[in-house]
Amino acid sequence: MTSNDVSNLKKLVAEKAVNDYVKDGMIVGLGTGSTAAFAIKKIGELIANGMKLTCVATSIQTEDLATEYGVNVVPLCDVDHVDVTIDGADEVDPQLQLIKGLGGALLREKIVAAATVTEIIIADESKIVEKLGTKAPLPVEVVPYGHNRTAFALKKQGCEPTLRKINGEVFRTDSGNFIYDCRFQSIDSPFFLESRINVIPGVVENGLFLNTASVVLISHPNGTITKMEK
C-alpha cells in the first residue's frame, strides 16, 4: 500500500467521524496526529459554512493546525465538559483498549479524553491487533529529573525502554517531559500493567488508554469503514 493509499484511508475515516458525530453547538476535542489532522480540516470546513463549534486541542501542534484551518481553540479549563473528541490510535484491540502516544501528546490526549462524553477513535486497519503491544511500543511520559532511574524501573516491568530522540535530540513533550518508548513482546494484562507503571516515581502518564473509546471507526483498503463499539 502506497503512502497516498494510507493517506486516503485516514482522510476517509476522519471525515466520516466528523460527519456522523459532530453537531452544531457542540464542544469538540481535537486529536493529535496525521489521522486527526484530516478531521480538524473537515471541522474547519464546517465552521466556514456556518456551524457553531467550541473546540479544545490535545497539543500545541493541533492548536496551530486548527488555527490554520480557521478553527478557534479555547483552553480546556474554559469548558465544563467535551461533547465529542475525535482522535487517532497506535493500536486497537478487540475490546477497544488502546495504545496512544507515538505522536508525543499522550498526557493532554488523556486529560481531554477524561473530560469527553463520547470518544471517537479513528484509524486504518493496520492499527488493529489481537493483543496490545505486539506492533507498537508503549509510550511513557516521565519527568526529566532522574529519568534513567525511572527507565530502570520501567524495564523491570518486562519491557525494553528507549528514550525518544528526534534527529539526535531528546524529544520533549508540550509539558517539557521526556518519553520512553517501551517495547513489550505483548501486553497480556493491560490494566495490571497500567497500575504498575503509574506507581513508579517519575512517571507522569502512560499510553494505555483503557476503557476510553466509545466508538472505533476503522477504514479498509477497499474503501469501507467498520464500526467497533462495546
- Using only C-alpha atoms, the chain has a radius of gyration, in whole angstroms, of 17
Domain range for 106 is 3-125+211-220
Residue 2 pLDDT exceeds 90: no
Q: For residue 198, give the CATH number of its domain.
A: 3.30.70.260
**C-alpha cell read off for 187:** 501486553
- Is 76:112 a contact under the CB 8 Å cutoff? yes
pTM (predicted TM-score): 0.95
Q: What pLDDT score was predicted for residue 107?
A: 98
In the predicted structure, residue 1 carries a pLDDT above the cut 80: no
What's the pLDDT tens digit per position in 182-221? 999 999 999 999 999 999 999 999 999 999 999 999 999 9
Tell me what the pLDDT averaged over the chain comes to.
96
Same domain for 77 and 154, yes or no, is no
Partners of 91 in beta bridges: 99
pLDDT digit string, tens, across residues 135-150 = 999 999 999 999 999 9
Q: Average pLDDT in the 106-115 region?
A: 98
133: in domain: no
Give the CATH number for residue 21. Answer: 3.40.50.1360
Query: Is residue 109 flagged as an active site residue?
Result: yes
Rounded to whole angstroms, the Cα distance separating 109 from 214 reads 15
Give the containing element (helix H, strand E) for 110.
helix 106-114
Q: How confident is the model at residue 94 (pLDDT cuts 50, 70, 90)?
A: very high
What pLDDT was estimated at residue 173?
98
Both 11 and 96 in one domain: the answer is: yes
Q: Is the pLDDT reported for residue 177 higher than 70?
A: yes
Domain annotation covers residue 131: no
The whole-number average pLDDT for the span 53-58 is 98
Question: Is 199 within the bounds of a domain?
Answer: yes
Establish if 226 belongs to a structural domain: no
What's the 3-state SS for 168-221?
CEECCCCCCCEEEEEECCCCCCHHHHHHHHHCCCCEEEECEECCCCCEEEEECC
Euclidean distance between the first and the last CA atom of the chain, given in angstroms as a whole number: 30
Average of pLDDT values for 144-160? 98
Q: pLDDT tens digit string along 16-53?
A: 999 999 999 999 999 999 999 999 999 999 999 999 99
Q: What is the pLDDT of residue 7?
A: 86
Residue 225 within a domain: no
Same domain, 55 and 152: no
Q: How many domains does the chain have?
A: 2
Secondary structure (3-state) at 113: helix
What's the pLDDT band for 3 if we cut at 50, 70, 90? low
CA distance 33 to 31: 7
Q: Which of 63, 91, 109, 141 is catalytic?
A: 109
Per-residue pLDDT averaged across 176-182, rounded?
98
Beta-carbon neighbour count of residue 84 at 10 Å?
21
